[in-house]
Amino acid sequence: MENRILIIEDDAAIAQTLKLNLECAGYAVTSFDSGLTAWNALEREHNYDLALLDMMLPGVDGFTLLPKLKEYGIPVICLTAMGDAQHEVQGLRGGAEDYIAKPFDMLALLVRMEKILQRTGRLNRVYRFRDLTLDTANRKLTRNGAEIPLPPLEFDVLAVLMKNKNRTVSRDRILNEIWGQDYFGDIRTVDVRIANLRKKLGLAEEIRTISKAGYRLEER
């Protein structure tokens, strides 16, 4: 089951890019370009795991929509150009889980989204890639139902790649995801695990090395 994300953003260009990125990351995305249409649509359908809400909306603005979303139990991340403390406090007091000022970093947004989904127990913990299924809750990798045993480190590296399907992840980021920010390990550890994964799973083509950037698991 994919996580369902609601985007309420009036700037078409930003909404489009957000949608594109989130879909790549494996989310199901619904987006609205005005507060009013979002309000009306929510009355009918409110089965969302997370909402990205722009505060500066014409007509019904973000601060008005916030209680409505809370009512349906949808966690909210505020997106806004008003990056001052007062608005932030107002947004967070209003029940927002997090607050990101524009311009924001896509990767940062994705991480925050994941943390919130994890916190609210809504995070999808099963990732799929072609015939592979990775269950992070039970730490199990299966191919067409048959379990493939993997050493813990290789499992973690694969999990990072599958979580960020189609997105380039740097070696540093992989290390950080596995051991946290404080780890200063040898990044060649990652290269060794990647090589093993390619061999064991037959993903030599799919796990691409992006020069100077990192690795990417590509689904064509």
Is 216 an interacting residue with respect to another protein (CB under 8 A)?
Answer: yes
Minimum distance of another protein from residue 210's CB (angstroms)? 8
- Read off φ and ψ for residue 179, nearest 5 degrees: -110, -5
Is 60 an interacting residue with respect to another protein (CB under 8 A)?
Answer: no
Minimum distance of another protein from residue 57's CB (angstroms)? 8
Burial classification of residue 93, based on how many CB atoms lie within 10 Å of its CB (0-12 exposed, 13-18 middle, 19 or more buried): exposed
Stretch that binds another protein, among 50-58, 68-76, 132-140, 188-196 (CB under 8 A): 50-58
Contacts within 8 Å (CB) and 24+ apart, 77-85: 77/50, 77/51, 77/52, 77/53, 77/109, 77/112, 77/113, 77/116, 78/53, 78/54, 79/9, 79/52, 79/53, 79/54, 79/55, 79/104, 80/54, 80/55, 80/56, 81/56, 82/55, 82/56
Asked if residues 37 and 29 have their Cβ atoms less than 8 Å apart, the reply is: no
Nearer to another protein, 25 or 178 (CB): 25
# residues contacting another protein (CB under 8 A) = 29
Is 34 an interacting residue with respect to another protein (CB under 8 A)?
Answer: yes
Stretch that binds another protein, among 56-64, 67-75, 116-124, 133-141 (CB under 8 A): 56-64
The DSSP result for 40-51, as a single string, is HHHHH----SEE
Minimum distance of another protein from residue 70's CB (angstroms)? 24
Stretch that binds another protein, among 99-107, 135-143, 188-196, 197-205 (CB under 8 A): 99-107
Alpha-carbon distance of 84 to 51, in angstroms, equals 21
Q: List, in sequence order, every residue forming a beta bridge with 173; answer none if it has no partner.
A: none
Stretch that binds another protein, among 6-14, 37-45, 114-122, 124-132 (CB under 8 A): 6-14
Candidate list 29, 55, 57, 190; residue touching another protein; CB under 8 A: 57
Is 108 an interacting residue with respect to another protein (CB under 8 A)?
Answer: no
Asked if residues 75 and 50 have their Cβ atoms less than 8 Å apart, the reply is: yes
Touching another protein, residues 144-203 (CB under 8 A): 166-168
Nearer to another protein, 3 or 164 (CB): 164
Candidate list 43, 105, 182, 205; residue touching another protein; CB under 8 A: 105
Alpha-carbon distance of 172 to 188, in angstroms, equals 10
Q: Which residues bind another protein (CB under 8 A)?
A: 10-11, 13-14, 16-18, 20-21, 24, 34, 56-59, 81, 102-107, 166-168, 213, 216, 218-219
